[in-house]
Chains A and B, each alone.
Chain A
Amino acid sequence: MSAVLEVRDLTKTFGGISAVAGVSFDVHPGEILGLIGPNGSGKSTLFNCILGQLAPSAGEVRLDGRAITGMRPCDLNRLGIGRTFQLLQVFPQLSVRENLILAGQEHQGSMWSRLRGRRDAGLTAAANRMIEFFRLGHLADERAGSLSYGQQKLLDAAMAFMAGPRLVLLDEPAGGVNPTMLADLHERLREINRSQGATFVVIEHNMEFVMSLCTRILVLAEGRVIAEGDPERVRNDPAVIEAYLGR
């Protein structure tokens, strides 16, 4: 089975310090890959290099065998990669529904056709389905900025799925979310994975969440991959325990 995403020797240095030091891994179709590691181990930097927010210093990224290194975030998104950020990123002045329509509209036709076409780019129904799916129905017309933190976090995730991506990179989706909502999010992610065959890469500090959600886990420390395998194996790996507990 060929990989959806191939990362080869990806490196990012900031003024002589390597935040990401030659990371290689594959993401297989349909899997949920967890990316864990202590604070400052380079997880978010790795995401940002893969997704074009940062230009990698060296290395290569391939999507379905096609080199995508250094492409712009918006072009990557239109190739079918969705993402969320570590910090909450919704558009506070737009309503929940408008946030979702925005997340899908750039995938509909050309820029010019969007100007001539319908105001909602024909996405109201799809947005409503997404709203129902994430159980935000009662909030559809509220300003996103007026939602609770956990609700905004759900909206943030929902936006990443709006365009029906094949690959989604989630940066700490569980951060700051209360236990009830967390269970909800867990269930939603599983269901999208099952029903749409979407592939996920998830950065997460909440071990319980990540261990139960992911099928495979990659451990990063000081910019390098130090362990890889199923949750059980990673949990008992001495190198991982050392990285977390320190020397």
Chain B
Amino acid sequence: MTLGGRARIAVAFAAAALLVLAPFGLKPYGIYLLSLWAVTTIAAIGLNLTLGYAGQISLAQASFVGIGAYTAALLTTQGWPLWSAFLLATALCFVIGWVLGYPALRVQHHYLAFVTLSFATLVFLILRNEEWLTKGVYGISGIPRPTVLGWSTKNPIDFYFFCLAMLALVTAATWWLIRSPWGRAFTALRENPIRADSLGVDVRRYTLIAFAIGSALGGISGVLYAPLVQFIEPTAFALNLSLNLLLMVIVGGSGYFFGPFLGAAVSVLLPEWLRFSEGLYLILYAVFVMVLMAFCPSGLLGLAERFRKPAAARRPESAR
């Protein structure tokens, strides 16, 4: 293993230790923000799989978060355990993601952007209009936090550790997926779908799978989001969140494994720390994204890599 690889593992361990220790020095609001970061990161990891590895733009990730959140809210307020929501939401989002991608992939690739954009609109309308199910604009309140194997996560700090554990689980699963032959196929169809096709890679099926798994991770994120905020209503899952998640993946570095972690931190934690008003922060953020796209479309991690070593010496790797 190279020195760079060892340094990377050291950084990962330090970051993990920090995440475990951080809540002990924070007020409840700080713990809430960290939990929100963990939940958001899961959704961003899903989108990174779709966009960063398989090269498919999706503007509907928030809709899958919404489907997950409403599944959790509806089930747990009826007394069902949270794990049933995990199962149902994951399956639901996987299937919907697959069905959604299918027509779009029959034609040119950028059509998926428009299909997902329209889908996001439809989901928002359903959440808002179908009051018999979703209670419409009034939202659903009193979403309970789960008891996991006898451990109550009612306290912010306990729920934070629950979110962190879920993030660790998702991270490990994704890492394993990216390093499997599937991950190699995802990278190939991002880099050159026509060549991949001629080498026996079933481009359509792999793309659909990447999209479906990415969507399912959005659902998982939503299932955690509902008990975190304990009150959900439709506007939380409108187009704004989808765009925000997309920018997180891009800003962090799409196609980089740790890009979503960084991107979510920039989007969730940084504005609180800078104490700007939300509007002003978004304005500056938008300018930053435009500048980043002009000078380094591979995002912050791409920028870091560029500084760390000259272009020719960059390490080849499918799982960056």
Contacts and interface: CB of A to CB of B under 8 A. Distances in A.
A and B directly contacting (CB within 8 A): yes
Interface of A: 51, 53, 72-74, 77-78, 82-83, 85, 89-95, 98, 101-103, 105-107, 111, 114-115, 117, 119-121, 141-144, 146, 159, 162-163
A114 B318 CA distance: 16
Contacts, number: 104
24 contacts: A53-B194, A73-B194, A74-B197, A85-B198, A89-B192, A90-B192, A91-B188, A91-B196, A92-B191, A93-B191, A93-B317, A94-B191, A98-B184, A101-B184, A102-B201, A103-B199, A105-B184, A106-B201, A111-B202, A114-B181, A119-B179, A120-B181, A146-B316, A163-B199
B185 interface: yes
Contacts of A77: 197-200
A47 B187 CA distance: 26
B201 A94 contact: no
B182 A114 contact: yes
B106 interface: no
B317 A95 contact: yes
Contacts of B318: 93-94, 98
B182 A146 contact: no
B314 A143 contact: yes
A74 B200 contact: yes
Contacts of A121: 181
B217 interface: no
Contact of A102 (B177, B184, B315): B184
A99 to B, nearest CB: 9
B195 interface: yes
A158 to B, nearest CB: 12
B184 A74 contact: no
Interface of B: 177, 179-182, 184-185, 187-188, 191-192, 194-203, 205, 312, 314-318, 320
A120 B183 CA distance: 11
A93 B182 contact: no
A98 B200 CA distance: 15
Contacts of B315: 143
B205 to A, nearest CB: 7
A117 B188 CA distance: 19
Contacts of A98: 184, 316, 318
A240 B177 CA distance: 54
A145 to B, nearest CB: 8
Contacts of B199: 74, 77, 102-103, 106, 159, 162-163
A115 B200 contact: no
Nearest to A88: B195
Given A93-B318, A98-B316, A115-B182, A72 B197 contact: yes
B49 to A, nearest CB: 14
A91 B179 contact: no
Contact of B200 (A93, A107, A120, A142): A107
A163 B179 contact: no
A141 B316 contact: yes
